[in-house]
Structure 1
Amino acid sequence: MSDARMETSDNGYVFTAHWFEYNAKNLWERLIPQVKPQKILEIGSFEGASACYLIDKLGPEYPLEIHCIDSWEGGIEHQTRGVDMNSTEKLFHDNLRLAIAASPNPVDLVVHKERSDSALAKLLSAGKAGYFDFIYVDGSHQAPDVLFDAVVGFKLLRIGGTMAFDDYLWAEPLPGGKDPLRMPKPAIDAFVNLNLRKLQLLNAPCIQLYVQKIAD
């Protein structure tokens, strides 16, 4: 990770990846005030941009409980680009410390440093079914992983809660073209289609997809 790519925000956060800032943040400016989550589960945290946003946005209103799942091993796309995931993990912790220190209300941050399949199974076995208000699926881009995160994550979501999927149209650039097993969309579509009686789609642009749970 090159220092030349680092940018410091007005809040003192340091990021090298700016996708959330330039794309998702504008969408969340409308979404988050509507769902007003207090118990949040994030699958895939990287440098902490989305978690810091949630703390900055919601921390002035009420206490928060945020669970962040990330192995900080990186996906295939990070490994092929040689991303320094140790530095990425350090930035996550540095940024979250700043966000929590600045929050007017307490923030209970729980970091699960492991693969999402393991972490989600542990949360489920710990009695967290129907516990979370908001779940952000932004971990592995491999279709089987995304499908697992969606299915198990949905069990952890309360009725009335919202699940957000990032990278709905993302596809890894490959010499032979798109591989449906290495992109989120086929998995997200399968999950939505198989749970049509348990969820409703919320208005959202194609860059992300949002669903509200209406039944177990």
Structure 2
Amino acid sequence: MNLQFSVSWFDDVARPVWDQLIPQINPSRLLEVGSYEGASACYLIQALGVSKSIELYCVDTWEGGVEHQQAGIPMSDIEVRFDQNVREVCARVPLPVEVVKCKGCSDRVLAQLLVEGKQGYFDFIYIDGSHQAPDVLCDAVLGFRLLKIGGVIVFDDYLWREHAVPESDPLRCPKPAIDAFTNLYFRKLDIFRAPLYQLYARKLTD
């Protein structure tokens, strides 16, 4: 399969855990915030599309965050690779896969999904968008509303920090937001034991 990825973040960090987690939870309705070149989306399509039909919502601005802009990453190329990779993998799985590409800021897209009646709709939500703490907290709260009881929410980059500046700004990384969310929602979540670069939790109640 001719998939093109310029980075190996997903394979390095997520795949070893997802290889065990995804078959266990076997989700059908999935949402990811932050799609980049489509590595996680393609993984989910390949893992699930061989045995069931799935819906996958992919939310991204494809404009990049501060760290991408500082590095001069051409985000238009990233979006083209996302489109090509997803199209390629969808053509190779035997069962229908509905990929809904939602291009826009996650706060607006997730709020719109709630307006459209998708509260408690998704089995699996992956938060890997903006690394700015206020954005991550917004994605977490809105994502929780969209997640069904029993569904799983995953936060990427729990231990990520900014390397492009001499002194890291504590609000320009996901950890404070993820900690705030899990502290406020601890009675409604069951946090999994897993390598902590990502944080995994099951929704117990609304």
Range of TM-score over shorter length = over 0.9
Aligned residue number for residue 153 of structure 2: 163
SS at match of 1:167: coil
Give the CA deviation at 1:176.
4.1
Give the CA deviation at 1:190.
0.3
The residue correspondences of 1:137-148 to structure 2 (distance < 5 A) are 137-148=127-138
SS at match of 1:110: strand
Give CA deviations for 1:73-101 in whole Å, capped at 9, x if unaligned: 00000000000000000000000001110
CA contact (8 A) 2:29 2:56 kept: yes
The residue correspondences of 1:20-39 to structure 2 (distance < 5 A) are 20-39=10-29
Give the CA deviation at 1:175.
3.8
Aligned residue number for residue 62 of structure 1: 52
1:202 and 2:189 correspond: no
| Identity of matched residues, % | 55
CA contact (8 A) 2:67 2:164 kept: no
Which aligned runs of 4 or more in structure 1 are off by greater than 6 angstroms? none
Give CA deviations for 1:161-183 in whole Å, capped at 9, x if unaligned: 00000000000025442211100
1:17 and 2:21 correspond: no
CA contact (8 A) 2:151 2:203 kept: yes
5+ residue gaps, structure 2, are: none
Aligned residue number for residue 48 of structure 1: 38
Give CA deviations for 1:110-153 in whole Å, capped at 9, x if unaligned: 00000101100100100000000000000000000000000000
Q: Distance in 2 between matches of 1:13 and 1:163?
A: 26
Aligned residue number for residue 80 of structure 2: 90
Aligned residue number for residue 5 of structure 1: none
Match of 1:133 among 123, 135, 138: 123
What amino acid is aligned across from residue 151 of structure 1 in structure 2? V
Q: Distance in 2 between matches of 1:53 and 1:197?
A: 31
Q: Distance in 2 between matches of 1:171 and 1:105?
A: 39
Q: How many pairs are equivalent?
A: 206
SS at match of 1:26: helix
Q: Distance in 2 between matches of 1:174 and 1:75?
A: 13
What amino acid is aligned across from residue 210 of structure 1 in structure 2? Y
5+ residue gaps, structure 1, are: 1-10
CA RMSD of aligned residues (A): 0.8
Which TM-score applies when normalising by structure 1?
0.94
Give the CA deviation at 1:35.
1.1
1:180 and 2:166 correspond: no
Q: Distance in 1 between matches of 2:188 and 2:13?
A: 28
What amino acid is aligned across from residue 66 of structure 2 in structure 1? I
Q: Distance in 2 between matches of 1:42 and 1:103?
A: 20
What amino acid is aligned across from residue 81 of structure 2 in structure 1? L
Give CA deviations for 1:162-212 in whole Å, capped at 9, x if unaligned: 000000000002544221110000000000000011111012111100000
What amino acid is aligned across from residue 44 of structure 1 in structure 2? G
What amino acid is aligned across from residue 150 of structure 1 in structure 2? A
Give the CA deviation at 1:61.
1.1
The residue correspondences of 1:75-86 to structure 2 (distance < 5 A) are 75-86=65-76
Aligned residue number for residue 113 of structure 1: 103
